[in-house]
């Protein structure tokens, strides 16, 4: 499970290795306590150009499918179990054609011991970027005029799988971490081998997980109103 994460850098500083062609004009600022329904930047390949254009775009966390009556449904769809994607209408279409990468600095997970929950910050040991596999959707707001810039909402979800190694001692689920070497295959809008692409991403995630470090942080991270660099520091 991934219910909070950190984006300490923005723009090209965070996604340089993914070879982004275009960065959106309204990218969100850095955040040390990203929660569902917050906006962050995601990477996707736009099939509207030939060849596709790799874009870094502002998106809301929590997938809102095109058929939704309103965006409220997205608050419950911030994670998607990778083993169930093909069975759920909310995610099936996005898996086929709308795959994204969510660039982060790390994420928070709560370890439950005898009913007491302790927050951990999980991040690359070298403090580099941590990429997560995601899906995205565009939702059209029927209440807004066609020329309204807010007519279309871009939203996303983060894929999860069974946790392994030391991460499994913190929580039984972890994000599907994305190795940059797999990024092109994951983002490719033309592939017909969706099952193979998904399986490859799931199978590659443990190698990234083994490189991650973690430490206990302040319980202040549990309050979404708290958002400062100090949240990721080890608890004293």
Residue pair 25/41 in contact (Cβ under 8 Å)? The answer is no
Beta strands 173-175; 79-81: pairing state: unpaired
Helix (H) or strand (E) segment spanning residue 170: none
Which position among 109, 210, 235, 236 bears the catalytic label? 109
Residue pair 190/45 in contact (Cβ under 8 Å)? The answer is no
Buried b (16+ CB within 10 A) or exposed e, 92-112: eebbeebbbbbbbbbbbbbee
Is 109 one of the annotated active-site residues of the chain? yes
User: How is residue 22 written in tokens?
Assistant: 């275009």
SS3 213: strand
User: How is residue 8 written in tokens?
Assistant: 């300490």
Helix (H) or strand (E) segment spanning residue 39: strand 39-46
Which position among 2, 210, 235, 236 bears the catalytic label? 2
> Which residues form the catalytic set?
2, 109
């Amino acid at each position: 499970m991934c219910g909070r994460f950190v984006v300490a850098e923005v723009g090209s500083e965070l996604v340089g290795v993914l070879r982004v062609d275009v960065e959106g004009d309204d990218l969100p600022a850095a955040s040390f306590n990203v929660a569902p329904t917050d906006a962050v930047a995601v990477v996707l390949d736009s099939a509207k150009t030939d060849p596709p254009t790799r874009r870094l775009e502002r998106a809301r966390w929590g997938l809102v499918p095109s058929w939704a009556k309103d965006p409220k449904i997205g608050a419950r769809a911030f994670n998607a179990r990778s083993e169930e994607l093909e069975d759920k209408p909310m995610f099936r279409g996005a898996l086929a054609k709308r795959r994204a990468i969510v660039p982060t600095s790390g994420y928070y997970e709560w370890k439950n011991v005898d009913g007491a929950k302790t927050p951990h910050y999980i991040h690359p040991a070298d403090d580099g970027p941590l990429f997560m596999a995601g899906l995205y959707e565009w939702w059209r707001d029927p209440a807004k005029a066609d020329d309204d810039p807010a007519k279309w909402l871009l939203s996303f979800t983060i894929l999860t799988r069974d946790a392994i190694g030391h991460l499994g001692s913190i929580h039984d689920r972890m994000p599907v971490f994305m190795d940059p070497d797999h990024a092109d295959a994951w983002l490719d809008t033309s592939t017909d081998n969706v099952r193979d692409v998904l399986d490859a991403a799931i199978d590659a995630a443990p190698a990234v997980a083994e490189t991650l470090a973690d430490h206990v942080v302040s319980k202040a991270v549990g309050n979404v109103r708290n958002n400062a660099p100090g949240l990721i520091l080890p608890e004293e």
